[in-house]
Chain A
Amino acid sequence: MEKQIAAPLTDRDIESLEAGDKVLINGVIYTGRDAAHKRLVETLERGEDLPVDLQGQIIYYVGPCPAKPGDPIGSAGPTTSGRMDVYTPTMLEVGLRGMIGKGNRSDEVVEAIKEYKGVYLLAIGGAGALLAKCVNKAEVVAYEELGPEAIFRLEVEDFPVVVGVDAAGNDIYVKGREEYAR
């Protein structure tokens, strides 16, 4: 049975999630991948304000396809999260609480997830057509010149994810692989 959570996240919601749980997200999330993360961290290093307030927010690692006329967004599945690892502890430090992506995270990221009580959520890589159907509205809110790497504000409905790393640091990839390796 799926759990329902609202975005942005509350501490209580995050604490209720365990690695392997199936979750449906409803609410507002932001997109951000390689180029946007680089700019966000550089903005913080200069001591300036971010273009988006990240308190309690979820960032979805995605660079969507262009929307066809009449659609809010094109195909929109997750990209490989590991490339964002170098930026993620800083993002969590300034208030980010959730990340949606696919693939392994570094030990440093898992430690930061535990320290700041965040959560890493997995969407199905390569299911961009299905996931696009869970997005009702998409608008660019920062870095428009980055094209697919701009930061979009997405309104999502029953967006399906699996908890990858929970706030206690449990990792579903480690557990899943151990069970079936031989």
Chain B
Amino acid sequence: MRELDVEQVKETVSDLCVQANYHLPGDVLEVLQRAADEEEESPVGREVLELIIDNAETAADEKMPICQDTGSAVIFLDIGQDVHFVGGDLEEAINRGVAEGYERGYLRKSMTEDPFERDNTGDNTPAIIHTQIVPGDQVKIALAPKGGGAENMSAARGLTPADGPDGVKDFVVDTVSSAGSNPCPPIVVGVGVGSTLEKAVLLAKKSLLRPLRQPHPREHIAELERQTLAAVNDLGIGPQGLGGRTTALAVHIEPHSSHIASLLAAVNIQCHAARHAEAIL
């Protein structure tokens, strides 16, 4: 059994909050550049893509947030089953890390205490924490700040087994179409398929952490990803919704075993500021 002090978790979470909000991952920048150089047909669309890249470079150089919506602090914890946390309450330590990171990084505090009364908690806590117990004695912490504008455009639906891959594709296209310019396109579309409602939604969010455009290892899923991306980009919404070819940078689909009666599908929409950072303790 390996002992791990929760203070170390706190420090790491604090660093990840700042890092994720200042630095757009390299794979996202690469795909944006490819879209600007080779894929986008609209002159305005290309201009917008160049500005988005310029913005990300400015943020990194000047140590400031890429976007003022520094998000809900969504945290995925993969905890090795041979780890024993010591020194205090793990969840409380994570929240202290978020509070510290958002304060010292000059990040916006966007969380409200109650969904109706809406008083700001003042320190961007609570974090949204998803834990998974895995083999081993390490802890992986992935932090993905999630902006409200794109999250609001996400959706889940219960399809029938007969709807099949085309049903999933149509649902994704409908969701992206009605979101239009709202979620800051070009977007990344995370899709969870199968399982139960809450699992499908979680898989959709988790798929956003996959390196951008890395296809799913199962060929028929990868094929559905390609087809869905092409259909989404035929909508013409384009960068910032001003018209163009690049409505989405990627579609990532995560399938899961399903009940004989069900075909659940969830779509999590991510804006072009597809921020995430991770560390292993």
Chain A residues proximal to chain B, CB less than 8 Å: 35, 62-68, 74-77, 79-80, 82, 102-104, 122, 124-130, 132-133, 146-149, 162, 172-173, 175-182
Question: Please, which residue of chain A has its CB at the minimum distance from the CB of B241?
Answer: A173
Contact for B236 among A62, A148, A179, CB less than 8 A: A179
Give the interface size class of chain B: 35 or more
Contacts of A132 in B (CB 8 A): 64
Contacts of B272 in A (CB 8 A): 126
Question: Please, which residue of chain B has its CB at the minimum distance from the CB of A127?
Answer: B55
| A104 and B55 within 8 A (CB) | no
Contacts of A173 in B (CB 8 A): 180-181, 241-242
Chain B residues proximal to chain A, CB less than 8 Å: 41-42, 44, 48, 51-52, 54-56, 58-59, 62, 64-70, 106-110, 118, 120, 122, 148-149, 152, 180-184, 234-238, 240-245, 271-273
**Provided the pairs A102-B240, A173-B180, A177-B235 are in contact, do residues A75 and B66 lie with their beta carbons within 8 angstroms?**
yes
Contacts of A179 in B (CB 8 A): 42, 236, 243
**Provided the pairs A65-B108, A126-B55, A126-B271 are in contact, do residues A176 and B241 lie with their beta carbons within 8 angstroms?**
yes
* Least CB distance, A110 to chain B, in whole angstroms: 14
Contact for A180 among B41, B48, B55, B182, CB less than 8 A: B41
Contacts of B58 in A (CB 8 A): 129-130, 133
**Provided the pairs A103-B149, A103-B241 are in contact, do residues A75 and B110 lie with their beta carbons within 8 angstroms?**
no
17 contacts between A and B (CB under 8 A): A62-B68, A63-B68, A65-B68, A65-B107, A77-B67, A125-B184, A126-B184, A126-B273, A127-B55, A128-B66, A128-B68, A129-B56, A162-B242, A177-B236, A180-B42, A180-B236, A181-B234
Contacts of A147 in B (CB 8 A): 109, 120, 122
Question: Please, which residue of chain B has its CB at the minimum distance from the CB of A103?
Answer: B182
A169–B244 CA distance with the chains assembled, in angstroms: 22
| A125 and B237 within 8 A (CB) | no
* Least CB distance, A114 to chain B, in whole angstroms: 20
| B149 and A180 within 8 A (CB) | no
| A129 and B41 within 8 A (CB) | no
Question: Known contacts A147-B122, A173-B242; can you find 10 more A-B pairs with CB under 8 A?
Answer: A63-B69, A74-B65, A75-B59, A75-B108, A80-B183, A126-B66, A126-B67, A127-B55, A162-B242, A177-B180
A178–B42 CA distance with the chains assembled, in angstroms: 12
* Least CB distance, B93 to chain A, in whole angstroms: 24
**Provided the pairs A125-B271, A148-B109, A173-B242 are in contact, do residues A74 and B68 lie with their beta carbons within 8 angstroms?**
yes
* Least CB distance, B212 to chain A, in whole angstroms: 16
Contacts of B44 in A (CB 8 A): 176
* Least CB distance, B265 to chain A, in whole angstroms: 23
Contacts of B235 in A (CB 8 A): 177, 181
| B181 and A75 within 8 A (CB) | no
| B106 and A172 within 8 A (CB) | no
Contacts of B106 in A (CB 8 A): 65-68, 74
Contacts of B181 in A (CB 8 A): 102-104, 173
A35–B110 CA distance with the chains assembled, in angstroms: 12
| B68 and A76 within 8 A (CB) | yes
Contacts of B41 in A (CB 8 A): 180
Contacts of A82 in B (CB 8 A): 182
